[in-house]
Amino acid sequence: MGKVRVSAFSVSLDGFAAGPGQDLQHPFGVGADAVPAWLRQTKMFHDMIGQPGGTTGIDDDVARSSMENIGAWIMGRNMFGPIRGPWPDESWKGWWGPNPPYHVPVFVLTHHARPPIEMEGGTVFHFVTDGIESALARAKQVAGARDIRIGGGASVIRQYLQARLIDEVRLAVAPVFVGAGENLFSGLNLPDLGYACVESTAGANATHVRAVRQSS
Amino acid sequence: MGKVRVSAFSVSLDGFAAGPGQDLQHPFGVGADAVPAWLRQTKMFHDMIGQPGGTTGIDDDVARSSMENIGAWIMGRNMFGPIRGPWPDESWKGWWGPNPPYHVPVFVLTHHARPPIEMEGGTVFHFVTDGIESALARAKQVAGARDIRIGGGASVIRQYLQARLIDEVRLAVAPVFVGAGENLFSGLNLPDLGYACVESTAGANATHVRAVRQSS
């Protein structure tokens, strides 16, 4: 069985994954565009959106490996889109256009049921209304030997960490301060939950750290 | 006039400068010894405590420059010692033995008055009971053209940042999680206060970042 993992999840020096005021124009909130900037600059990201160029090296290696060997994704509905509350209609199909970069089933945690959406390229968005353990169980059914990636946002990752359901967390710490918004570490005691940082590698535009759950 | 600066101040990936339960046996609290470990490993620190060896390179360069050109220090009384509340007597003279590594006046913020203590090597501890601005004014009087270093802990640095009294902040981010204790970023919105990260350099055992107050 594969790992349950967080990969290439970007946080600021002060722990924020997103700023306040997330909406259609500000997917990462106001003042937090620089948090995932390291990723947007990689060749992997350029390739993904069909653009030439991009940086190679450690940041690019991290970006690439973050997308490898994944059998299913889990994400919060705020990562899926800017709509809050009940779905007004079925027109919103994610930020990523007709062919999203996932190419496997994606389980979207939400309080508001919605039929699955089959996209081009193998991505299917499933909407899960009965909690994080149910989403993980469904992801395991489809992922087989491959890993399950908990995509985000901060709140979803925190919930899975607090339930000790994540095997490995790879964060990309961007050299910026955000000051307000969605803080990954808010109320999160990683050592108490059994997680320790075991590796830190400096890329050109972010520091990449890896934490694992110690076997108890 | 010199700068008011924070230098080589160590924080964990989740923002903690110290763990819970600081006392005589645990100057940095429980579970947080690894936060300043990068500093203890440097040749500069080994030299300072009269030990052979220690690492050279970026971490050592940062440690060395953190002690240069300083005309006065300001620190909280929790950085001065483990005693809380009124001074029971005048026996506690800091963690650092008869010849502390400061060699200039050190202004200790406290609610409890106490006569100055003159140590060997030029360090004089002055106890300031009328607030951070008073301590800074007194530090400026003695520092002349040299810098004033705000030593810590987290609470003192946060107070000076919130008052926009610091020109430059250099943090050393250690690749560890602490989970509880004294969090530098708690309630601190650095961008709102005008501070931006302008530099990030990877040492062997910590990532060194520099933030400055933007001129407004």
pLDDT tens track for A96-136: 999 999 999 999 999 999 999 999 999 999 999 999 999 99
User: Chain A neighbours among B 30-89 (CB < 8 Å)?
Assistant: 31
Mind listing the pLDDT tens digit of every residue in chain B (216 residues)?
A: 899 999 999 999 999 999 998 888 888 888 899 999 999 999 999 999 999 999 999 999 999 999 999 999 999 999 999 999 999 999 999 999 999 999 999 999 999 999 999 999 999 999 999 999 999 999 999 999 999 999 999 999 999 999 999 999 999 999 999 999 999 999 999 999 999 999 999 999 999 999 999 875
The enclosing domain of B136 has a CATH number of 3.40.430.10
Partnered with residue B92 across adjacent β-strands are: none
Instruction: Write down the pLDDT at residue A216.
Output: 57
Distance of CA A185 to the CA centre of its chain: 15
Mean pLDDT of chain B: 96
- Residue of chain A whose Cα is closest to the Cα of B172: A13
How long, in residues, is chain A?
216
Alpha-carbon separation of residue B101 from A94, B17, B60, B62, B161 (angstroms): 57, 20, 16, 16, 25
Tokens in use for A158? Answer: 């925190």
Half-sphere exposure of A106 (CA within 13 A, CB side): 25
Note the pLDDT tens digit of each residue in A36-52.
999 999 999 999 999 99
Residue A45 covered by a domain: yes
How close is the nearest chain A Cα to the Cα of B64, in Å? Answer: 22
Residue B203 covered by a domain: yes
pTM: 0.95
Number of domains making up chain B: 1
**Interface contact flag, B13 A178, Cβ < 8 Å:** no
Burial A126-150 (b: 16+ CB within 10 A, else e): bbbeeebeebbebbeeebeebbbbb
Residue B172 covered by a domain: yes
Nearest Cβ partner for A196 among B177, B189, B190 = B177
Contact assessment for residue A124 and residue A105, using Cβ atoms and an 8 Å cutoff: yes
Tell me the CA end-to-end span of chain A in Å, nearest whole number.
Answer: 19
Residue B61 covered by a domain: yes
DSSP helix/strand/coil, B65? helix
Alpha-carbon separation of residue B59 from B63, B162, B174 (angstroms): 6, 28, 11
Chain A / chain B CB contacts < 8 angstroms: 70
Alpha-carbon separation of residue A161 from A136, A187, A189, A192, B16 (angstroms): 13, 11, 9, 11, 19
How close is the nearest chain A Cα to the Cα of B208, in Å? Answer: 10
Instruction: Write down the pLDDT at residue B189.
Output: 97
With residue B66 as reference, give the H or E element that holds it: helix B58-66
Residue A177 covered by a domain: yes
Among A12, A168, A177, which would you mutate to test the B interface (most chain B Cβ atoms within 10 Å of its Cβ)? A177
Distance from C-alpha of A199 to C-alpha of B147, rounded to nearest angstrom: 35
Q: Is the N-terminal amide bond of B153 cis, ω within 30° of 0? A: yes
B176 at A interface, C-beta within 8 A: yes
How close is the nearest chain A Cα to the Cα of B99, in Å? Answer: 35
SS3 annotation, A122-138: HCEEEEECCCHHHHHHH
Contact assessment for residue A79 and residue A152, using Cβ atoms and an 8 Å cutoff: yes
Distance from C-alpha of B156 to C-alpha of B148, rounded to nearest angstrom: 14
Domain extent, residue A51, equals 4-83+99-213
CB neighbours (10 Å) of residue A199? 11
Tokens in use for B162? Answer: 């919130």
User: Chain B neighbours among A 146-175 (CB < 8 Å)?
Assistant: 171, 173, 175
Distance from C-alpha of B21 to C-alpha of B33, rounded to nearest angstrom: 12
Residue B184 covered by a domain: yes
Partnered with residue A12 across adjacent β-strands are: A174
Residue B51 covered by a domain: yes
Residue A164 covered by a domain: yes
Radius of gyration of chain B (CA): 16
